[in-house]
Every structure is written in structure tokens, then in C-alpha cells.
A = this chain, B = another copy of it.
Amino acid sequence: MTTLQDCRALDAQDPLAPLRAHFSLPEGVIYLDGNSLGVLPRATAARVADVVTREWGQDLIKSWNSAGWVSMPQRLGNQLAPLIGAGTNEVVCTDSTSINLYKVLSAALSIAREDSPARRRVVSERSNFPTDLYIAEGLCKERGLELVLVEPEDIGAALTDDVAVLMLTHVNYRTGAMHDMAAITAAAHAAGILCVWDLAHSAGAVPVDLRGADADFSIGCGYKYLNGGPGAPAFVWVNPRHANRFWQPLSGWFGHAAPFQFTPDYQPAAGITRYLCGTQPMISLSALQCGLDVFDAAQPLGGMAALRTKSLALSDLFIRLVEERCDGFGLGLATPRAHAQRGSQVCLTRDEGAGIDGQGSGAYAIVQALIARNVIGDFRKGDGGTGRHKDILRFGFTPLYVGFEDVWNAVEHLRQVLAGAEWQRPEFNQQHAVT
């Protein structure tokens, strides 16, 4: 049996432990929701204040040049690139994940179908994050194409010669299951299909090698593991072999070859800059930069490889402790045990009918009871027993700021919530809008 002392010993030996000091964590909170909204880096408040009061307030319009505002999306893109296996000048930080997906999926479809007009399908995973599916649905409708949704085990069989683009999220938001990006991309390419990868739950969480996997297009989120703040700008990567072939449809002036020439006709900038659209948000981008700076600080401590080692150690520990200490309460494991198939979160299930008076799973109430104890995870609803998706208790393990004793304490709170039937209190069973 694992003990609290074992966990403390792991913290004492953790070479990444100093990184926690880069964050401003609320006192007494065990935050296991960095997969939804990352925490505040300690440097962000001062940086944002400087952008607001000096760059904007004092220097005003001059800051487009003097503070380097005009190239912020590219500079942050270059800072982010090593985390996702991208090269220099291949990434820009801009807009939202959904908007960036629209850009790359548009471009991918244009390229794939120029070569092979008979390819009329986009394949994705049925449990992909919904906004990805909504964007794909809209684009397919607009272009008279078909969106085909499959279960993960059926992806291989779905790669037929009428498919233009395979669009997947690398790590599943509900289960934490991670795809083999290189193998799937290779299979897709062998079938003449382009691959779009959403790295929302990967960038900053697991090592990603877009170049190594020879991926085609990729987008991802700035406010989860990159700690860029609520609604932070997202990012876009395009394989250089595609970058100059098409321009994405959101052809605004920041993607123009010479935006300050104010010419009436659009000439796309070379490379990834054409994936910018309108004027870029400087306060938000500056906050995101502080999130990326922490990864620079992690570099001498081993970088993404060391972060991955710790992340797996944390999630392994969580799984082990739940199984050792919360047995008999109807919990199951939705996240794969195999390291190669696991992102940086662990998702527990609870059986339908395990809730109060046999209603529902009780998973929502358990998460609420944990939140009341300052253990922050989140709940994702299942399909109510009608299909393969159970209700989910979701816990993200961000190795930048989560320690091994945190994991012990989280499981101990979970045990107490379950053993004392605390989750059955009425206040934890009133559902309202949650993210």
C-alpha cells in the first residue's frame, strides 16, 4: 500500500518541484483542472500591468513598433514551437482554437480536394471535443461534403479513398486517451488523406512531434496547459509544404504580405503569417507569453521529457491510490493504463444508477463535494446509460505545479466524500451551468 510518506518522498526527489514557485496558486487549493483552465503564472500580473499602463497607456500607438506588438503572434509562435515539434516560423499564436480550426480545415480541404476532387469526406472521432465537430459540420455543409464520425477503434477502417481529411484531437477531452499521432498520420497519408491535429490537451502536457509525425495541420489551445489565461489566444501550425499553397478564408489584413501598404487586393503573406486575420490582441498575447516563459524555465530541468515523466508518475499514483483507497464505491477508470495511450489527465467513471435512489451516477455531486473541499476537478456528462459514454470525473495533472502529496490529499478527500456519503447532500446535487 502506498503511504502519504511515500508521496512526500516523491516530492522531495522531484527535480521539477521548483517550477511550482512560478505560479500563483490559491492557498489550500488542490487544482486538478489545468486541462480546462491553467493557473496564473506569477509573472503575468506584472507583465499585463506593464502592457496596460506603459505600452498602451503611455506609448500608445507607437508600441506597435517600439514594443514589438506587430510581431507578437510570430514571436510567441516561435517560443511555443519546441513544445510541439514545430520549426521556427511555422507557428502563430492568434484567435481561438475554433477559429483556427476553421482556417486549417478549410485549407486542408482545399488542398486535398484540389488533388483529388472525389474525396468528399472528413473523418473524425465521435467523442472529439464538440466545437471541433461543430466547425467541421459547418464547413462540410458549406462545401457540400460529408462529416463521418467514428469510434476510435474504427478510425483505421474509415480511411477510405473518398476521405479528404482526417481531423482528430490528439488527447481526448473526456477520457484522456492519447492517439499515436505518427502511426495514424502515416496510415492516413498511405491512404492519400491529410491530417489535422487538435493539440488542445497536448501542448504543454505531453511531448508532441508534429514534424516527426509528418502531420499536415495543427491547432491548439492557449488557456489549458499553456496557462495563458481565460480565453487566451490559441495557436496554428501548418506543415511548410502546405503553408504557401492556399490561403485560409479568414483573409484579414494581419495575414497580408504588406498590411500597411493598404492595397485593396489581398496578397497573402509568405508562410504561417497568412494564418493571421484581424488586429491581434496585445494584452491577451502578453499574458500567454508569461505562460510560455515557464516552459523556458523548465528547459534546463529537462523540459517536456521531464514534465512527461512526472505527469505519468502523478497519474499512475492517482490511479493506484484510487484503486487502493476508494474501492467499493462504484468508480471505474476511463483513461487507458498504458502510458503511450494516456495524456496528462485521469478520468474516472461511475456506474449509471449509483447516484441517490439509483438516479444517475452521482459523479456530478461527487465533483461538487470535492470542489467544496478545494479539490478542483470537473464533471463531464455521459450519455445517461444509452451508449458507451459514462459520466466522467475528470482530473488533470499538470506537472508544472501539481505535486505527489497533492495527489495523496486529493484521493483522501475523494475517499472521505464517498465513505461519508458527503456527496449525497442536496447542495451537491443541484446542477447548473458548468464549464
Chain A interface residues toward B at CB < 8 A: 24, 26, 29, 31, 33, 36-37, 39-40, 44-45, 48-49, 52-53, 55-65, 69-70, 95-99, 102, 126-128, 130-131, 133-135, 137-139, 142, 149, 221, 223, 229-234, 247, 249-254, 256, 259-266, 277-285, 287, 371, 376, 378, 380-381, 432-435
Other-chain contact of A134, B49, B252, B261 (Cβ < 8 Å) = B252
Q: How many copies of this chain sit in the oligomeric assembly?
A: 2
Chain B residue with the shortest CB-CB distance to A234: B278
Are A99 and B61 in touch, CB under 8 angstroms? no
Pairwise interchain contact A40-B52, C-beta atoms closer than 8 A = yes
- For A61, list chain B residues within 8 Å (CB): 33, 36-37, 376, 378, 435
Q: Across the interface, do A138 and B98 meet the contact criterion of CB distance under 8 Å? A: no
Give complex CA distance A370, B49 in Å: 28
Contacts of A376 in B (CB 8 A): 60-62
The interface residues of chain B lying within 8 Å CB-to-CB of A40 are 52-53, 56-57
B24 touches A57 (CB 8 A): yes
In this complex, what residue of B is CB-closest to A378?
B61
A381 with B261: CB separation less than 8 A:
yes
- Supplied contacts A36-B61, A52-B287, 13 more A-B pairs, CB within 8 Å: A29-B60, A65-B432, A70-B433, A98-B279, A99-B99, A99-B277, A137-B265, A230-B282, A231-B281, A231-B283, A261-B381, A262-B380, A283-B283
With A223-B279, A252-B135 as given contacts, are A39 and B24 in contact (CB-CB < 8 Å)? Answer: no
Distance, CA A63 to CA B33, complexed state (A): 13
Given contacts A57-B39, A265-B137, contact A435 B253 (CB under 8 A): no
Name, among A63, A69, A279, the residue most crowded by chain B CB atoms within 10 Å (CB to CB). A279
Q: List 15 A-B contacts (CB under 8 A).
A: A24-B53, A37-B56, A40-B52, A40-B57, A44-B52, A49-B49, A55-B230, A56-B229, A64-B434, A96-B277, A134-B256, A134-B266, A138-B250, A231-B280, A234-B278
